[in-house]
Amino acid sequence: MVTRAETDHLIFGGADVVELAERYGTPLYITDERSIRTNFRNYKTAFQSVDHAIYFAVKANGNLAILRILAAEGAGADVFSGGELHLVRSAGIPLHKVLFNGNSKSEEELKEAVELKVQVSVDSLDELRTLSEVAGEVGKEAEIAIRVNPDVSPNVNPKIATGLRTSKFGIPYSEILATYEEAAKLPGIAIKGIHCHIGSQILDVGVYREATEKMMGLVKGLYDRGIELEFVDLGGGLGISYQKEKERAPTPKDLAEAILPVFKTTTKSQGITPKLIVEPGRSIVGPASILVSKINAVKKAFKHFVAIDAGFNLLIRPVMYDAYHEVVVANKLEAPASELYTVVGPICESGDIIAKDRMLPEVKRGDLVAILDVGAYGFSMSSQYNGRPRCAELLVCDGAVDVIRSRERVEDLIRNQVIPERLR
């Protein structure tokens, strides 16, 4: 992020954000292609000393252009629904590099995965048995990993901790070996790997070491029982620095340094060579996007409110997770921060707060704010609540601009709705 001194405008991905807002309207998501490529390549470099694959978690950002960039960089994908599988197919991510996750997959989803030879991360014994039946019906083997609940506790918001004993995901650590033994006996099931994912926005990589130790203990137990694996998938979850002054986010290199010694020790002592898979979402796309929004009103009430045209319809993280996002005034970037503002959205809910008590330059109606680090769980969690069509998305690369999602119109709000004949 740099500024251009003469105009005091925010420059992002080489483009003047104020000009983009004038040309394409607001609210507006803007993604910097270079940032995505750099973030992805940092993973490749960090894990280059082992046979590995990087599966992007599509739920973080399902935009086809962004998936296409990642496909070109060599990414595989972690998908959580038939819909996300459709997205990665449309973007050209090879199906042999996709893992179908989820704690509640429908029979149709399982069938599609087996038909397409997409590997499935099995979340329960119930699902394992269903999958065996589905494989029989389809006449192909179901390639599986089992999702382990490793019972580790990352220090993150409970809504995004997924490896706790009490979490809905995975099969309890203590039941894993028995589940694999059952899987080995079931017809139509081909064991390929083992999988865990312990949470999201993790800032302390120590918990990865703990999870890896548990997972490699299981791997050893499986080989001792004659069950061999092609891959060990340790999930995603690496955090990013939303609050620049307070949080130092670990890098993919820090992650690799936590995981690899444990991984290598076990594979060496067992004389085995499974592929290591990691599934980053947020740390690839999170820092790569901003959300640009126009100020509709400034009001001095109990607080000094700045009302913008983007709310939790377009960015739910502050409301859902109490998440912090940095906010800058895109057309007054260098002006002194002299006022204490609370930035709120246009949604008819008093909880629709984007940023609480922030020092910003003095603003007026028509000024533009940019909300930073919104590339993960931003647009992908958006809605049409309050009759608000979703906004447009741009991709910028060294100043070049492409529209990668057009702005919805009010017609899109009623697209699938039907007024019954008798009510006409």
| CA 412/CA 423 separation, integer angstroms | 22
Query: Which of 377, 416, 413 minimizes the C-alpha distance to 200?
Result: 377
28-57: contacts with ligand PLP (CB under 6 A): 57
Are 197 and 156 in contact, with CB atoms under 8 Å apart?
Answer: no
Q: How far is the CB of 55 from ligand PLP (least distance, A)?
A: 8
Q: How far is the CB of 351 from ligand PLP (least distance, A)?
A: 24
Q: Per-residue x/- marks for ligand PLP, 7-26, CB under 6 A?
A: --------------------
Q: How far is the CB of 400 from ligand PLP (least distance, A)?
A: 27
Q: How far is the CB of 367 from ligand PLP (least distance, A)?
A: 32
Q: Is residue 149 a contact residue for ligand PLP (CB under 6 A)?
A: no
Q: Select the residue interacting with ligand PLP from 192, 197, 317, 325 (CB under 6 A).
A: 197
Q: Select the residue interacting with ligand PLP from 32, 78, 112, 373 (CB under 6 A).
A: 78
Nearer residue to ligand PLP within complex by CB, 252 or 311: 252
Q: Select the residue interacting with ligand PLP from 76, 274, 281, 361 (CB under 6 A).
A: 281
Nearer residue to ligand PLP within complex by CB, 203 or 401: 203
Q: Is residue 101 a contact residue for ligand PLP (CB under 6 A)?
A: yes
CA pseudo-torsion sign 290, 294, 295, 296: negative
Q: Is residue 358 a contact residue for ligand PLP (CB under 6 A)?
A: no
Nearer residue to ligand PLP within complex by CB, 199 or 274: 199
Q: Is residue 193 a contact residue for ligand PLP (CB under 6 A)?
A: no
Query: How are beta strands 142-149 and 189-195 bridged, if at all?
Result: parallel
Cβ neighbours of residue 27 under 8 Å, at least 6 residues apart? 291, 292, 293, 294, 308, 309, 310, 314, 391
Peptide bond into 250 cis (omega under 30): no
Nearer residue to ligand PLP within complex by CB, 284 or 347: 284
Q: How far is the CB of 312 from ligand PLP (least distance, A)?
A: 19
Told to judge if 397 belongs to the known catalytic residues of this protein, a careful annotator would answer no
Calculate the CA dihedral of residues 182, 185, 191, 193 and round it to 10 degrees: 20
Q: Classify residue 15 as exposed, middle or buried by CB count within 10 Å of its CB (0-12, 13-18, 19+).
A: buried
Which amino acid makes up residue 82?
A: G
Q: For residue 312, give the DSSP letter.
A: T
Q: Select the residue interacting with ligand PLP from 27, 237, 252, 378 (CB under 6 A).
A: 237
Q: Per-residue x/- marks for ligand PLP, 360-379, CB under 6 A?
A: ----------------x---
Nearer residue to ligand PLP within complex by CB, 27 or 237: 237
Are 63 and 69 in contact, with CB atoms under 8 Å apart?
Answer: no
Q: Is residue 60 a contact residue for ligand PLP (CB under 6 A)?
A: yes
Query: Which of 91, 19, 4, 8 minimizes the C-alpha distance to 56?
Result: 91
Q: Hey, which residues does 3 pair with through a beta bridge?
A: 10
Q: Is residue 210 a contact residue for ligand PLP (CB under 6 A)?
A: no
Query: Which of 169, 90, 186, 182 minimizes the C-alpha distance to 124?
Result: 169
DSSP state letters, 376-389 = SSSGGG---TTT--
Q: How far is the CB of 224 from ligand PLP (least distance, A)?
A: 27
Break the chain down into helix, strand, coil percent, rounded to 5: 35, 25, 40
Which stretch in 131-139, 230-238, 244-252, 263-271 sits in contact with ligand PLP by CB under 6 A?
230-238
Q: How far is the CB of 396 from ligand PLP (least distance, A)?
A: 22
Q: Which residues are catalytic?
A: 348
Give residues in contact with ligand PLP (CB under 6 A): 57, 59-60, 78, 101, 197, 200, 235-238, 279-283, 376
